[in-house]
Amino acid sequence: MTPTSGRDRAWTDPTCPVARTVDLVGDRWSLLIVRDAMDGPGSFTEFRQRLGIARNILADRLRRLVDDGILTTSATPSGKRHVYELTAAGRDLFTTIVALRQWGERHAFADGERHSTLVDRDGRHVAELHPRNSSGTPITAATTTVRRVE
């Protein structure tokens, strides 16, 4: 099944892109696996060591992420292990991960509390994300509305 097909799946809210996305990657472990996969391909053991996640939960989340087209798997040259790598859909979650990171920097830490930061390859901080409409004008929840499917 591809994540866009919608067949054979009980979606929380079948017409809402936010709900469907949360159904695919909204649990804690899935997003942390995606975050770590952004550093490059990883093996089961590497994910387990970095995340401290139980084997059965990691196996389940990796299987789901592969089934939903967010990760792909390939055998290592020895053929004894598999590595997991983001697909185009998985790489497209980068903006989501950055938005969550920036929200966390603003709201999940006390003033002066140490935390990791995201920088570009030259060491420069990443600019704060701000949604804009197609004309480039900044938008907020107060200036947008959802067109519901009827």
Q: What is the 8-class DSSP label of residue 83?
A: E
Range of the structural domain that residue 40 is part of: 17-143
Q: What is the pLDDT of residues 110-126, one digit of tens each?
A: 999 999 999 999 999 99
pLDDT of residue 68: 96
Q: Is 117 within a domain?
A: yes
**CATH code of 129's domain:** 1.10.10.10
Domain-embedded: residue 149: no
Q: What is the pLDDT of residue 37?
A: 97
Query: In this structure, what token pair is assigned to residue 100?
Result: 């969550």
* Block residue for tokens 């401290």: 52
Q: Is 73 exposed, middle or buried (0-12, 13-18, 19+ CB in 10 A)?
A: middle
- Please, what is the average pLDDT of the chain? 93
Domains in the chain, number: 1
Full-model pTM: 0.87
Alpha-helical (H) ranges within 7-143 are 17-25, 28-37, 44-51, 55-67, 88-91, 94-107
Structure confidence at residue 9 (pLDDT): 80
pLDDT computed for residue 1 by the predictor: 42
**What value does the mean pLDDT take over residues 5-32?**
87
Checking if the pLDDT of 33 tops 50, the result is: yes
**Tens digit of pLDDT for each residue in 49-102?**
999 999 999 999 999 999 999 999 998 888 888 899 999 999 999 999 999 999
